[in-house]
Structure 1
């Protein structure tokens, strides 16, 4: 009978003596939560804006409804790289920068703790990138660095050449920029923030993506701060977006030469907030939005050959105000406070942005 009693309590004793299971890792914080901004003239920024008029159409970016900003970074899009190289000044451009991207607009955001960057390129200026890189890539890098220092902004590289991109020229551009503004893991110097746009997945802009992943986005010897996975041709499902983003983390070993895997801490995920003529949930209804539907994956995506920590850096949204002549834009009375702003609250986004995860 004693043996039977011991056998009866043995499982309980083993359970009590067994080591506790390790706690599940906490989801990574959403550190980058921002919007590309196209102004009110379809990404040209070709006129000086009155700040009060600008605020009436963009107040949601600095106030999600409770006085806190909806985002922690805004990327003003786009600068023509050839005009930047030449320091063009005319009716729409001042020293190579669109006149709408001026100190007053930058300070509208930075005075609220929102980081500002200028995006060089975009699909419209692909030929201009090619021409500038062929003419004087180092000079372009120095010009970008000077503008960044003058305005207190970072720079985004949006070079969308899918066939035969000038990678040697782009390397020279980056080297020249970094000779003025070295990589800064603390994020304390706004002008040291240098990022790159790449495709939603690994099947477009392949050469640029391969070069960036192999040489510029490494966690051991970082050159660029991170890459943005851009939006697809049109909004799709949560599962489709996740599949695209996963491609960056996996790489493409079957390509020749292969595309190496990218560390999750070097990538942000792109979603639309303005597309077509109807408001998107991503802009107006967080509960039904793709950022909510993909949030668990974005914060927990595991490394698969590069990096040591899980979770992407966060989200970038395309695009504030008027990104297209055919679309609604984000000029509704509340803008995207109900989508992006509510997401900032749900994700606990830090404003101002703190130092980014490096591994």
Structure 2
């Protein structure tokens, strides 16, 4: 009996002394970027001088100490049907908005800020459908040519929630990658090809399912990463985290299921200004969602995909004037105190480093 008690005691002591598995270490954000809508509600329809552009956007390249507030700017939006047809009109030159000039690209890249062009947006969903139906391969080739011309990456923002044309979207991606192959080192800006998904897994389901299963895998990556876009309105801390957790978990009960997405394969989106309100995300980092969600975002653990903890970072909607009504991030509503302070707090690397691959 004594031997039995001694054995039980020894086992119990051993269990108490056994090391506790360490939690996944937090990973600082690698991406801290802004979608940019120019001064005409995302049309980019006029050529702007660098001096005039700087007067309204200087905070993006200077958080107050000479360092940029972001390491990525996504110029939004290119209209896909005009790009396919290489349209020239009052707002467009050979399919590209006239305001998306080499000078504006250089305004950012000369400060170490990566630049991409976003094709689509919710306004151009029908145009995406029409362009893909006409020739997804040629659209991908045209996008690749613009990337080469301007030295930028491309973002796919195809917001078709009902029966998206996935076969032609695959053709678009295949054609683009034939010109600009996947570049894990991130050394070729034209090779950066990303896609936008919904804030969580319950909208744009077909696109999200396809992207997660075939394009955002860590073993055979095709796209660099996805952006979990902003929801209909600025979320609370808990609802933002719940949305992003859906991507990590997937939807195993859906038919067919949506697979889990690796934390290293997506960013979380937040509003920087919304409607008539300037958000703390712009002006007050201490009261912002990029502050209150930060401990979760940097430590979010894989749940079926990927091996490293932490999302890639944050994207903010949107710089300057995203709508014809409401506030802008033009002076006096500049964002050094929100996004700029956040860039300092998280020690955002500028220029953007090679992104985690798993």
TM-aligned CA deviation for residue 18 of structure 1: 5.3
Aligned to 1:324: 323
Superposed CA deviations along residues 141-183 of structure 1, whole A, max 9, x for unmatched, are: 0000010011000000000000010000000000000000000
Aligned to 1:158: 157
TM-aligned CA deviation for residue 89 of structure 1: 1.3
* TM-score, normalization by structure 1: 0.94
Is 177-186 or 270-279 further displaced after alignment? 270-279
TM-aligned CA deviation for residue 329 of structure 1: 1.2
Aligned to 2:139: 140
How far apart, CA to CA, are the structure 1 residues paired with 2:18 and 2:303? 28
The aligned runs of 1:249-288 (5 Å cut-off) are 249-288=248-287
How far apart, CA to CA, are the structure 1 residues paired with 2:201 and 2:252? 11
* TM-score, normalization by structure 2: 0.94
The aligned runs of 1:1-359 (5 Å cut-off) are 24-333=23-332, 335-359=334-358
Residues 262 and 306, structure 2, Cα contact 8 Å, conserved in 1: yes
Aligned length: 348
Q: What SS does structure 1 have at the residue aligned with 2:212?
A: helix
Give the superposed CA RMSD.
1.7
Residues 231 and 270, structure 1, Cα contact 8 Å, conserved in 2: yes
TM-aligned CA deviation for residue 276 of structure 1: 1.7
Give the unaligned 5+ runs of structure 2: 1-8
Give the unaligned 5+ runs of structure 1: 1-9
Q: What SS does structure 2 have at the residue aligned with 1:136?
A: helix
TM-aligned CA deviation for residue 50 of structure 1: 1.4
Residues 278 and 333, structure 2, Cα contact 8 Å, conserved in 1: no
Distance 1:309-1:53 versus aligned 2 partners, 3 A rule: same
How far apart, CA to CA, are the structure 1 residues paired with 2:161 and 2:56? 34
TM-aligned CA deviation for residue 205 of structure 1: 0.3
Residues 261 and 306, structure 1, Cα contact 8 Å, conserved in 2: yes
How far apart, CA to CA, are the structure 1 residues paired with 2:68 and 2:25? 25
Residues 60 and 334, structure 1, Cα contact 8 Å, conserved in 2: no
How far apart, CA to CA, are the structure 2 residues paired with 1:24 and 1:220? 24
How far apart, CA to CA, are the structure 2 residues paired with 1:25 and 1:174? 34
Superposed CA deviations along residues 241-267 of structure 1, whole A, max 9, x for unmatched, are: 110010011000111111001000001
Q: What SS does structure 1 have at the residue aligned with 2:274?
A: coil
Superposed CA deviations along residues 84-125 of structure 1, whole A, max 9, x for unmatched, are: 011111221111000000100000000000000000000111
Aligned to 1:5: none
